[in-house]
Structure 1
């Protein structure tokens, strides 16, 4: 079943390369992707899909499209187009770092290191954190961290390994530790965001940006945490990060509905009209594969995680994927972007498509994505 899903996804991605041209898919409306320029936090996912397909097939058409896309990211960095946020890792880990990992292209490596330097400019003292959005003195966004940033930290860990400069690693570790302390609640749920006093660094409190309420659990944020803390464990071997990934995973899995695919928030009232977020389950699935790679056979949670991973992926393939729908542009239906912001068309999300494909390939043949160097 997973091999069939991969073959279907590869065929759709190849068709989309011609359809999308030099633009980037973002989210869809009525089954058609909205195409944008390379100016959003989501653009790397499309490039990452091209690299995944190239690795799986060795089809030169995917490589050519991916290399052309990386050139767009180089131009974006040169002109500094909408890079005043922390999502630099999403953009450059899946584009230029992917090219380095796949082809050992030195120019791509240097471009990725430049991107890591851009992310380092988000570091804020005296609080000691990476500010998510806005300029340093932004009255609304100053002092904000968000759980999504855990997937941007691998860019810094990698840069430290490549250069020998411990500063990248120290920032990444500090951000991960701060996220563990302040974004993860005592019951193993999570805040989307947390605020600190910009002058003193004193913690203020947790909040949401895309969740149902400040005290609710936005499912995509919980999924970022599962994957992000597992990746921080890979780089640091800090057992607290592994334990936190497991805690978040248990909470996520225990609160899934009967078909094992998440609603957009675990605390949102469930009615016939409540949005799902298939992208949250896709991210969680890829994160579970990463988490399982760090658990030995004697771990008491291993069998449970493995069983739930397969149930969730099976449900995604059988009930949410566009498998067999030849004209579909996206891979996963029923993704949600930003429900309260009116940006949830209940349709395709390019990050959902990426993590769905990554999870499938990790399960099928061990292609791991581009968050870390492969041994």
Structure 2
């Protein structure tokens, strides 16, 4: 692994030529991002939030508060306020967050971390308003209703033929539980998050540190009975965004626990991703697609990976290699190939994301969670420079 990282560092240094290696001044970048996102805001109805573009009819796909992606637009607008200090973005973020009222009481979904912590979480972090904190605590309470002590995990879906499905995406919802334990002083949220992380670590990963998408458990024994995919190429493939969810998740778990085993896991997952990336460092939608390199990229997976790499670079002994990789991914995402400009792409920032390829849903589109993690990666990148 160490040899690979050294080679990766050399490769990144030598490949920073051409468009993907060009630097753009940050004030100019934030101005362009702001102008672009304003196009999206203006296209959004009062009672909806934007999910992706284009839809099957060539327009925007809008959604309501029962959709797992509903919290990302507000989160992106809070990030824009953080980046610019512009009151326009503060007001837009507040208005979009208020559209989500009621979501904190949902118990039918495991995605409350995405839905609430990305929106209300950033809102509270940047404003300190108590009503935002209360919404996060309530969402954590709702999420805990999905925890099964026998399995040791939070249930992901209520649909399908699984007895108790757990998807790798669910790692991302644990951060909210850690936060709530810290704020309330109640360890039950943290305990559930650690249990979920440990059971997922035991059952989701292959020998090469790629991850299954879905693991189905028997609620009587607590043991896994099936390992599959839902959004990847096949049950044994490495679905691109799934790898990014796992990588980000365990990087975050290390931050929250300080347990070195999670740092080791994060590095191993990250190394799997990095050694399978193409030259421009933007993930394939599935790393086992037989059509590689002539297949879809997933800018959302790249953005998630970059954000996690910036964090990992602050705690790993291999920080220089991870930081260079993160910067290389962001440079590619900033290029004309991946970043939309001048009102194109429906106002979404990034092009070329893949939602659910097997279902031919949101394939090669702009999508809200790609923009969210891209902006988070930019903020982390800037924080490391200061």
User: Could you say which residue in structure 2 is the equivalent of 1:48?
Assistant: 75
Are positions 1:122 and 2:139 aligned together?
no
Which of residues 108, 113, 117 is equivalent to 1:89?
A: 113
Alignment of 1:74-223 (within 5 A): 74-77=101-104, 80=106, 83-134=107-158, 140-223=161-244
Are positions 1:321 and 2:338 aligned together?
yes
Unpaired runs of at least 5, structure 2: 1-23
User: Could you say which residue in structure 2 is the equivalent of 1:306?
Assistant: 323
Question: How has the CA–CA distance of structure 1 residues 344 and 67 changed in structure 2, closer, same or farther, with 3 Å as cutoff?
Answer: closer
Question: How has the CA–CA distance of structure 1 residues 348 and 324 changed in structure 2, closer, same or farther, with 3 Å as cutoff?
Answer: closer
Instruction: Give TM-score, length-normalised by structure 2.
Output: 0.88
Of 99-108 and 4-13, deviating more is 4-13
Partners of 1:198 and 1:121 lie apart in 2 by: 15
Deviations along 1:24-50, whole A, 9 cap, x unmatched?
111212774311222200011101011
Query: Displacement of 1:85 after TM fit?
Result: 1.6
Partners of 1:316 and 1:307 lie apart in 2 by: 14
Aligned length, in residue pairs:
357
Partners of 1:184 and 1:319 lie apart in 2 by: 35
User: Could you say which residue in structure 2 is the equivalent of 1:356?
Assistant: 374
Which 4+ residue blocks in structure 1 deviate beyond 4 angstroms?
none
Query: Displacement of 1:14 after TM fit?
Result: 2.5
Which of residues 354, 362, 368 is equivalent to 1:344?
A: 362
Question: How has the CA–CA distance of structure 1 residues 334 and 274 changed in structure 2, closer, same or farther, with 3 Å as cutoff?
Answer: same
Of 247-256 and 319-328, deviating more is 319-328
Query: Displacement of 1:281 after TM fit?
Result: 0.6
Unpaired runs of at least 5, structure 1: 368-375
Query: Displacement of 1:365 after TM fit?
Result: 3.6
Question: How has the CA–CA distance of structure 1 residues 343 and 324 changed in structure 2, closer, same or farther, with 3 Å as cutoff?
Answer: closer
User: Could you say which residue in structure 2 is the equivalent of 1:26?
Assistant: 51
Query: Displacement of 1:350 after TM fit?
Result: 0.8
Query: Displacement of 1:321 after TM fit?
Result: 3.1
Instruction: Give TM-score, length-normalised by structure 1.
Output: 0.90
Question: How has the CA–CA distance of structure 1 residues 2 and 227 changed in structure 2, closer, same or farther, with 3 Å as cutoff?
Answer: farther
Query: 2:200 aligns to what SS in structure 1?
Result: helix
Question: How has the CA–CA distance of structure 1 residues 282 and 147 changed in structure 2, closer, same or farther, with 3 Å as cutoff?
Answer: same
Q: Cα RMSD over matched residues?
A: 1.9
| Alpha carbons 1:8, 1:323 under 8 Å: kept | no
Which of residues 292, 295, 314 is equivalent to 1:274?
A: 295
Question: How has the CA–CA distance of structure 1 residues 126 and 311 changed in structure 2, closer, same or farther, with 3 Å as cutoff?
Answer: same
Partners of 2:36 and 2:367 lie apart in 1 by: 15
| Alpha carbons 1:131, 1:142 under 8 Å: kept | no
Query: 1:126 aligns to what SS in structure 2?
Result: coil
Query: Displacement of 1:273 after TM fit?
Result: 5.4
Of 109-118 and 22-31, deviating more is 22-31
Partners of 2:185 and 2:109 lie apart in 1 by: 25
